[in-house]
Amino acid sequence: MVGGMTDATAAVQSDDLVTLLELLDVERVDDDLYIGQHPDQVMARTFGGQLLGQGLVATGRSLTRGAPPVHALHAHFIRGGDVTKPLEYHISRFRDGKAFANRQVTAMQDGEVVFTMLVTFQDNKAGLEHAVEIPQVPYPEDLPPISEHFEGYEETVEAFVKALHPIDVRFANAPTWKMKGTGEQLNHNRAWMKTDGPMPDDPLLHMGALAYSSDTTVLDSIITTHGLSWGIDRLFAATVNHSIWFHREFRFDEWLLYATESPVAAGSRGIGSGRYFMRDGTLAASVVQEALIKYFPPRS
């Protein structure tokens, strides 16, 4: 049983969501060391969202009872992880307080650093409040599941089709591979997301699942700004760093709109920024990711 999940609740989860919860349930070896596994459905290197989610859960579990909730994370990706080997998450404790706490987590394989992340925890106390408005898009119930967007493109985006799909994704605009055929260039991306089934009540797991999902579509706006597509154009992308700010508590087994855009691409790098809105328009989290991204035009 993961995080208090009952048999009745688990029965309506997708198999891929069960796998994600198992991935997030990192094994505690001692107070400052946790072990994370890879799923059977892997790509050439460890998925960045997996590192974010597992690292976040590891740091959260290293806190004492009554500790403040997660406020933000700032991660750097050092090298591609070996998907055939487990990951060691080493925790460094910088501060423990009633209102604030700080941790650094470093993922290692064979003595080499794969990924490092600073995680901050802070009480959510009342203060000034404002936020941008949620973009106007169709509701998720009126949009097709991502599996319908794969139809006819199974070979084009084979890596995406074969990937783990614990998140129910409903695009409010065409995904890159379908947009390519229209000749459209789009400087933003809108997609509703939630886990493919109910989650345990543990807020840390909801944050871990959101962190996992935050690495899925955040770079799309970089390439659609130039009319390019994954799987069709010759592109190389690798995350350099990734940050998330958690503004309010949320449940990730309820729909959130992930609204992303790309403010800049320069020096073979691009930035994707995004916001997660609850269905009522409340801003739950903000994301910024920088990635190495290269386009190789066809030879004339």
How does pLDDT run across 227-249, given as a tens digit for each residue? 999 999 999 999 999 999 999 99
Token pair for 279: 């269905």
> pLDDT at residue 9 above 50?
no
Three-state SS letters, 215-269: CCCCCHHHHHCCCCCCCCCCEEEEEEEEEEEECCCCCCCCCEEEEEEEEEEECCE
The chain-wide mean pLDDT, for the chain, equals 93
Do the beta carbons of residue 243 and residue 75 sit within 8 Å? Answer: yes
* pTM, 2 dp: 0.94
Do the beta carbons of residue 56 and residue 211 sit within 8 Å? Answer: yes
Q: What is the mean pLDDT of residues 172-186?
A: 93
DSSP run (H or E) holding 126: none
pLDDT category of residue 8 using cuts at 50, 70 and 90: very low
Distance CA 285, CA 30 (A): 31
Strand 70-77 and strand 235-246: pairing? antiparallel
How does pLDDT run across 64-106, given as a tens digit for each residue? 877 789 999 999 999 999 999 999 999 999 998 888 999 999 9
Domain positions in the chain are 7-123+141-295
Please tell me the number of Cα atoms within 13 Å of 88 on its side-chain side. 13
Quick one: how far is CA 96 from the chain centroid? Answer: 26
Quick one: how far is CA 24 from the chain centroid? Answer: 12
Distance CA 69, CA 55 (A): 15
What dihedral angle (degrees, nearest 10) is formed by the CA atoms of 145, 146, 152, 153?
Answer: 180
Do the beta carbons of residue 265 and residue 225 sit within 8 Å? Answer: yes
How does pLDDT run across 250-272, given as a tens digit for each residue? 999 999 999 999 999 999 999 99
Do the beta carbons of residue 246 and residue 208 sit within 8 Å? Answer: no
Nearest to 175 by CA among 163, 166, 184: 184
pLDDT category of residue 207 using cuts at 50, 70 and 90: very high
pLDDT category of residue 274 using cuts at 50, 70 and 90: very high
Task: Kindly list the catalytic residues.
Answer: 215, 239, 289
Q: How many CB atoms lie within 10 A of CB 244?
A: 25
Question: If DSSP codes are grouped into helix, strand and coil, which group holds residue 199?
Answer: coil
Superfamily of domain 7-123+141-295: Acyl-CoA thioesterase, double hotdog domain (2.40.160.210)
The percent of residues in the chain predicted with pLDDT above 70, rounded, is 95
pLDDT category of residue 3 using cuts at 50, 70 and 90: very low
Radius of gyration from C-alpha coordinates of the chain: 19
How does pLDDT run across 180-198, given as a tens digit for each residue? 988 899 999 999 999 999 9
Q: What is the mean pLDDT of residues 288-292?
A: 98
Sign of the torsion angle spanned by Cα atoms 222, 224, 230, 234: negative
Q: What is the mean pLDDT of residues 157-178?
A: 96
What dihedral angle (degrees, nearest 10) is formed by the CA atoms of 135, 275, 44, 199?
Answer: -100
Distance CA 62, CA 92 (A): 10
